[in-house]
Every structure is written in C-alpha cells, then in structure tokens.
Homo-oligomer: A and B are copies of this chain.
C-alpha cells in the first residue's frame, strides 16, 4: 500500500492533532517519538524490546549506514528491515544533518556536498540523487531529501543560500525518486529567520510532498525563537500532511512542538542521557552519578512498569553506571524510552480530551527539576 496520513482528533485550543500514518509495513499513531537506531541498532536495545515498549517506527541514519556497512550490503541483505530485524516502519534521514555537523565538510557545490568520513577520514560526495538512491537501497518506509543545514547563528545571506540549495536539491530528489511504497519527505529550513522559514515552507509545499521534515532547529538558538520559527512554518505546511521535527526530543520542547502541530519526533537525547547515567522521571531528571543515590533502595520511579523500575533499585543502577556496566546502560535506556513512550501516550490522551494546554502547563519547568 502507499503511504497515507489521516488526522483522527484535534485539540480544542492548540494546533495539536492525533493521527495515523499507514505504510506497507504497518500503521503508526501520531504524535510519535521515534527511537534513533543510528547505525541500524538503538544502542543496547533488541528490536523486540522496542516493540515491547510500544514503538512502531524507528529512525536510522543514512550517513552512518552509507559509510558503515554500506548501502549495497544492506540491499543484499534484503533492506534495512531484514538486516536489523525490525519488521515495522523505518524513517531514514538523508544524511544532510550529519554531513554538516559530524563531518569535516570540505565544500558545498551545486551538485552536492563533499565531506570526510568520521570513521576513516575518506572523502565522499553526497548529492541529492545519491541520498535518494541510498535510501532506496535501505528500503526505508519514509525517506528524506538531502537538505543544506546552517549553524546558529548564521547570517541572513547564508540562510537564504541554504534555503535555495535545499529547494534545488528537493526538486532533483523528486525527479530521481522511483515510484514505490517508500514516501519521500521534503525538508524545510530557514535558520532563525521566521520569514525565511515561511518562504522555505511555501516553496517546498509547492512540490507537494507526502510529508515534511522540519530541519535546522534546536541548533543553539533560544527556545523562544525556535518556537516562533516552528509556529510560522507549521502555519504554512498543509494540515493534511505529517510533520517531523528533526532531532528534538526533550519533554517540554516535544509538548510545545506538538501544540504547534508537529506529528513526529526523533532524538538521541533520551538514550544518550541514559548512557550518561541520567534517568527521566515525572518528577525530573535523576542523575545517578550523584552520591545521594548511593544507598537509595527505591526504584527509579515507583509507578513505572519498565524492567529497570520493576527489578532494580537506584543504588544498583548507580553501581552499574559507575562501573560502566552494559546492563546499566541498557536498563536506563529502557527506562528513558519507556518514559518517552508514556509521555506521547499522555499527550495523545490530552489531545483527545482537548487539554493540551493543561498538559504543557503540568510539564513546565521539568527540565530544571531534579528528583531525589
């Protein structure tokens, strides 16, 4: 079946909506948070464990998979789903963000971007055509066009050029894309300039993509400016198409973005923080490196049903973290992903009940809370 998106419910006071994405590999209820399987694996988690938490879609990084183990091998293996044994939908990014953030970008030309691999320093050219064909080899359910990202702050001229390049690449990508089950999302840019955000969105929407990635946000700009940019852009994007906010997943930001009409999220933060010993709880972050947890025999969260909370104490999880034990990283990752999943479920319930504003209010200031 071809890619479809349907809106199910709308919040009364915000632009938040619940919906359902239908793909050949199954349905995904939105809003949704996508765990990040950077190199074809969510760090420490087996695919069936992600299913158990309730996730229906993952994100994986074209940049990393292209460099290691290579798109041809994954194609030979039957695509990324077969390779990593994840039968449900997968969204792949285009590699644009990684090329501009991780790699030593050598130069950006009309045709694409030259960069050096983070793995071995080898030189590569990524073009919009290549980003499409790599993602076709990976056989993800949602692919993304190659976009040109700017840092923050960036001059108006730089951002205008980035918007223009992204639009040109978007057109090339659409021409290159083979018809099939894979949906190709456009990406809108515009840096910290709301008017450029609008222009980027309008011109991208004119190409009529089945969905839109919102890129270049949360790269250092103040949160207020991020929300202003997001608001101006989601006002232009068509209601009937899903919007994916790339790379943002802190609980408060996620709720605020949902209230502005965003449907999909991915972020390494919950899993990266887990490996740094930080657990997310309703009462705030629990940083297990703090000595106060040394002999704390309570679970991370009393009412959480994840294996970390059901089976172990904070003292034990802290002990594992201090010893850099894999089991500790696994358990905290499991917990933080369970937390994100529950947050999304709460959010969907709030939208259905028309109380998204109240939910945002309840979570206000969460980021500065420290439990314990």
- Chain A interface (Cβ within 8 Å of chain B)? 39-47, 68-69, 73, 76-77, 83-85, 294-295, 297, 307, 311-313, 315-316, 318-320, 322-323, 325-331
Partner of A327, one of B46, B69, B295, B328: B46
What is the CB-to-nearest-CB distance from A234 to chain B, in angstroms, rounded to a whole number? 35
Residue numbers in B under 8 Å from A46 (CB-CB): 307, 311, 327, 330-331
- Chain B residue at minimal CB-CB distance from A320: B41
List 30 contacting pairs A-B, 8 Å CB cutoff, sorted by A.
Answer: A39-B323, A40-B316, A41-B320, A41-B325, A41-B327, A41-B328, A43-B325, A43-B327, A44-B327, A44-B330, A46-B327, A46-B331, A68-B322, A68-B323, A69-B315, A69-B318, A69-B319, A69-B322, A73-B294, A73-B315, A76-B295, A77-B295, A77-B297, A77-B313, A77-B316, A83-B313, A85-B311, A85-B312, A85-B316, A326-B329
CB distance from A295 to the nearest CB of B (A): 5
Residues in B with CB closer than 8 Å to A328 are 41
Q: How far is the CA of A311 from the CA of B39 in the complex (A)?
A: 17
CB distance from A74 to the nearest CB of B (A): 9
Q: What are the residues of chain B within 8 A of A316 when measuring CB–CB?
A: 40, 77, 83-85
